[in-house]
Structure 1
Amino acid sequence: MIRLHETVRVARSAADCYRYIADFSTCEQWDPGVYRALKTTPGAPIIGSAFAVTVHMFGRRVTLAYTITHLTPGRRIELRGEGAGVTTHEIITFAADDHGVTIIDYRADFELGATLRATRPLVAPLLRRMGRRAVAGLKDALEIKSVAPAQGWFSYAADHSLIAATPGFTERGYMAMDDKSHSEYIDDQVVVISGATRGIGLAIACEYARLGAHLVLIGRDGDRLDQAMQRIRDFAGSASTSIEGHVADLLDVGQTETVARRIAAAHPRIAVLVNNAGALFDAHALTDDGFERSVAIHLVAPFVLTESLMAPLSAARGRVINMSSGGMYLQALHLDDMNFEQETYSGTKAYARAKRGLVALTRHWARRYDETGVRFNAMHPGWVATAGVSDAMPGFEKVMKHLLRDPRMGADTAVWLGASTTAARCNGEFFLDRRPHPTAVLPNTAVKPSAAQALYAWLRNETGVAVHGVG
């Protein structure tokens, strides 16, 4: 038997610490030895809840099956893990002192199978090192950060060469992050998410639900909304009353404005709006409102939703998170041809131009609404393996499939921007992996404030949506 014992002190309540660890799938956020962790039984963690935890062990990835064997709420968690010739019994206890600090005590007993017993002198130091790193990572994950993020010089230089930056768009960029944790709870705060029925949007919704948010999802298909809500409840153990779905086709200005007004009437305070809905179209077509479809879904819909929800966002000093794409780096804003009618249509160009416009609009909103306390930021999720990417760019997906991120990696920054204390200090910035990045690196692609103002005026005039008063 190999025994581990580590103790750390964390400046959080015992209830918060217990809550975070009881859903043991969060270990992928704090244990550097874990690649992926999934709760394989639905609902809130209980005795018998099971988890599949893929770890880096013995120079390869192996999956261990964990089961919760005992829970004393707020005080004790026991788990049993099996796999790769190892059986483990782990006990985590929580004790609060008189100064708002929780002492987390971690103990583990590892039994090696017959094939590994001869390697005990080699395996024991490895397991102890993994245990020390995991507990140190847990302490870091639970402690709330107070320093706003900044981009390092190497990352800045890579961005401006563009090619050197692209490896960071892959899974490797996410795995290199120092902090992947989501441990700041936002219980009962209202989070509105568009495009949350699959892919990145669904992953965003799942994580916000785990943080205790009241979710308001917008999608165009009622059946898919129902399926997504059930997936979220299974993932986070959320009550059915904490998730609601609204059907609307965001290609339609009228439907978008109507659903936004309905949400605003029901929720006078909105903490977070995530404009995530998107699509890549292979042929040119205009919506009934006269917008090219990429412009309609990636630019017009976020404009209508955001302006229509500004009153409840302002009341909560909320946050708006706009999903962009690295493709925008290759395109400029074309104010004289917003609907892509003056040149041969390219779906990828139209997509990138609309995303360029959305990032410019984000900065304009940040300036326009600064005094309201609402914070606006845009983000790039990296290169993510989703059904949308597979359908729209099968060649890219085939070549890059082993390097692409999974949806939870792409969702990470959107959740951090809406829930973390440090992100509340950020306004008008563009993020990848929780770090600000420049919005333009190629000549003639930067959008001047005057052009962003003109874009805002164009959207206001073309949609006819009443904008929120300022001052």
Structure 2
Amino acid sequence: MYETLLNEHIDVQRPIQECFRYLLDFSTAEQWDPGVRRAQKLTPGPVRLGSEFQVTLSGLGAGTVMQYRLTGLRSGESLHLTGVGSGILAEDSISLLSLAAGRTRISYAARLRMPGLGVLSGRMLQPFLTRLGRRAMAGLKAALDGHAPVTAGASAPSFSQRLLLPAAIGFTERGYLAMPRKAHSRFMDGKTVLITGPTSGIGLAAACEIARLGARLILVGRDSRRLETAAEAIEDFAGMPSGLRLIEADLAESAQLDRAAAEILSLEPRLDVLVNNAGVLLDRYEQTPEGRERSMATNLLAPLRLTRALMPLLSRSQGRVINVSSGGQYLQSLSRDYPRAEPARHDGVRAYAEAKRALVAATASLAQRHPDVAFHAMHPGWVATPGVARSLPRFERVMKRYLRDSRMGADTIVWLASEDAARLGTGHFWLDRRVQPRDVLPTTVVSPARERALMLSLDSLCEPASG
């Protein structure tokens, strides 16, 4: 049996309480340790002695699953975990020491035992193990100690983006895994965040992480039972009650949207972030009770109408709006009379992409109209969600092994919701925390004149029913 001890230390510019809070939930290891592909908390609720975590390695023994248990805990000072995996026994200790000027020293010690490994083989492996430990602590320092510069606005597509296929590879999990920083350590205590479509997929993943950062959530969805199930999952993940408010409404139907908005306006003193995530891709033509095509009503009119209704709260809080689009918008132009005219033959994929294309254009226009609120559009890459499996089964089958999971797809939403607003600007289109061009093909560019005409139409369609 080979046994080794790793010791590393870092100093970070964060108060000890914030560092301990971030590290207490060991599932954050996937955000800062390059040797961890996935980590999740198995024990629901608050982290406490005996809480268990599952960690899937990506470095040593890639694919190896480790089961960790929190076996020692001194609040604000230290953590001790024991882990068991195939051929690996681990004991990890993390201790924290408060330094002057709000700095913290974090010491990490790991005792690894490998029963099936001989001493000679172990010694050959030792440099690699040491390098893994140093990379992990460097990742933790980056996660806690400052933030990477935000990429400047991209005014034109790169050569690879114009070729589409090389850029589209970045829409897979490869794009997310290539990101230099994946941490979410900027806490959102005292913030209120509204998320539409939060009961599964990207919306649920974003809600879980935002709640873990301390924000209070308002969840708006079409099914009360699914909302309650999602709320339970969010509280189990975040480890703390977050004062969730659940509102049942089909936002594609104006009367229900207006009722939900009125409830929020009457009960909420502030709204810091609005995440317009709810979307639908239909394989057949459907209309809302108002006679509007349901894909357009859900994917375009609903987020704009909800944003408009909640603008008093957003303006009061100098809040931000995050509109979730799709990479499919890159291939779709806007028809001349959109959204007033509908094509003679309904195409669900086109209807979805056209609505998302219009949403990105509208986001940029709204950013100019409302300088007291930050507006962002983003696309999550290609994500394996229940909606994709249901609406695009062939695409899901072919691409399944390359698709992102919901957590990866939600990453930029969480980052846009929690990052310092002054660093993000407004009116941009994002993927993987980087500003992206809105257009990559000349045939899909929305000209300024077309954007103005689009906004005139949308303004009219989003007028309140009483108006």
TM-score by length of 2: 0.96
Q: Residue 301 in 1 paired to residue 336 in 2? A: no
1:432 aligned partner, one-letter code: L
Change (3 A) 1:231 1:167: same
- For residues 353-410 of structure 1, the C-alpha deviation after alignment (integer angstroms, 9 at most, x for no partner) is 000010001000100001x2x1001001000001100011111111100000000000
Query: Does the 8 Å contact 1:79/1:91 carry over to 2?
Result: yes
Query: Does the 8 Å contact 1:273/1:319 carry over to 2?
Result: yes
Post-superposition shift, 1:116?
Answer: 5.3
CA distance, structure 1, for counterparts of residue 369 and residue 155 of structure 2: 30
CA distance, structure 2, for counterparts of residue 174 and residue 453 of structure 1: 34
Post-superposition shift, 1:64?
Answer: 0.7
1:189 match? 191
Query: Does the 8 Å contact 1:11/1:102 carry over to 2?
Result: yes
Q: Residue 441 in 1 paired to residue 443 in 2? A: no
Change (3 A) 1:452 1:258: farther
Alignment of 1:115-130 (within 5 A): 115=117, 117=119, 119-130=121-132
Q: Secondary structure at the match of 1:180?
A: coil
CA distance, structure 2, for counterparts of residue 98 and residue 358 of structure 1: 48
Q: Residue 64 in 1 paired to residue 66 in 2? A: yes
Q: Residue 328 in 1 paired to residue 329 in 2? A: yes
Change (3 A) 1:120 1:345: same
1:389 match? 388
CA distance, structure 2, for counterparts of residue 351 and residue 411 of structure 1: 19
Q: Secondary structure at the match of 1:119?
A: helix
1:415 match? 414
1:82 match? 84
1:277 aligned partner, one-letter code: A
CA distance, structure 1, for counterparts of residue 245 and residue 435 of structure 2: 32
Post-superposition shift, 1:230?
Answer: 0.2
Post-superposition shift, 1:344?
Answer: 1.7
1:199 match? 201
1:178 match? 180
- For residues 323-345 of structure 1, the C-alpha deviation after alignment (integer angstroms, 9 at most, x for no partner) is 00010011112251426633321
TM-score by length of 1: 0.95
Post-superposition shift, 1:261?
Answer: 2.0
Q: Residue 28 in 1 paired to residue 27 in 2? A: no
Post-superposition shift, 1:464?
Answer: 2.1
- For residues 244-294 of structure 1, the C-alpha deviation after alignment (integer angstroms, 9 at most, x for no partner) is 210001110111122012112221211100000011011122211121111
Aligned length: 464
Q: Residue 164 in 1 paired to residue 163 in 2? A: no
Change (3 A) 1:297 1:153: closer
Q: Bigger CA drift: 187-196 or 154-163?
A: 154-163
2:149 match? 147
Post-superposition shift, 1:238?
Answer: 2.2
CA distance, structure 2, for counterparts of residue 146 and residue 63 of structure 1: 31
Query: Does the 8 Å contact 1:381/1:413 carry over to 2?
Result: yes
Q: Structure 2: any 5+ residue segments left out of the alignment?
A: none
Change (3 A) 1:84 1:74: same
Alignment of 1:272-287 (within 5 A): 272-287=273-288
1:212 match? 214
Query: Does the 8 Å contact 1:146/1:422 carry over to 2?
Result: no
Which of 135, 138, 144 aligns to 2:137? It is 135
- For residues 387-445 of structure 1, the C-alpha deviation after alignment (integer angstroms, 9 at most, x for no partner) is 10001111111110000000000000000001012674321000010001111111231
Change (3 A) 1:340 1:395: farther
Post-superposition shift, 1:462?
Answer: 2.1
Query: Does the 8 Å contact 1:417/1:423 carry over to 2?
Result: no
Q: Bigger CA drift: 303-312 or 453-462?
A: 453-462
1:259 aligned partner, one-letter code: A
CA distance, structure 1, for counterparts of residue 452 and residue 247 of structure 2: 31
Change (3 A) 1:347 1:202: same
Q: Percent identity over the alignment? A: 46
Q: Structure 1: any 5+ residue segments left out of the alignment?
A: none
Alignment of 1:38-53 (within 5 A): 38-53=40-55
Change (3 A) 1:384 1:219: same
Query: Does the 8 Å contact 2:429/2:438 carry over to 1?
Result: yes
Change (3 A) 1:152 1:28: farther
2:462 match? 463
Change (3 A) 1:219 1:158: same
1:343 aligned partner, one-letter code: A
Q: Secondary structure at the match of 1:61?
A: coil
CA distance, structure 2, for counterparts of residue 198 and residue 149 of structure 1: 30
Q: Secondary structure at the match of 1:401?
A: helix
Query: Does the 8 Å contact 1:159/1:438 carry over to 2?
Result: no
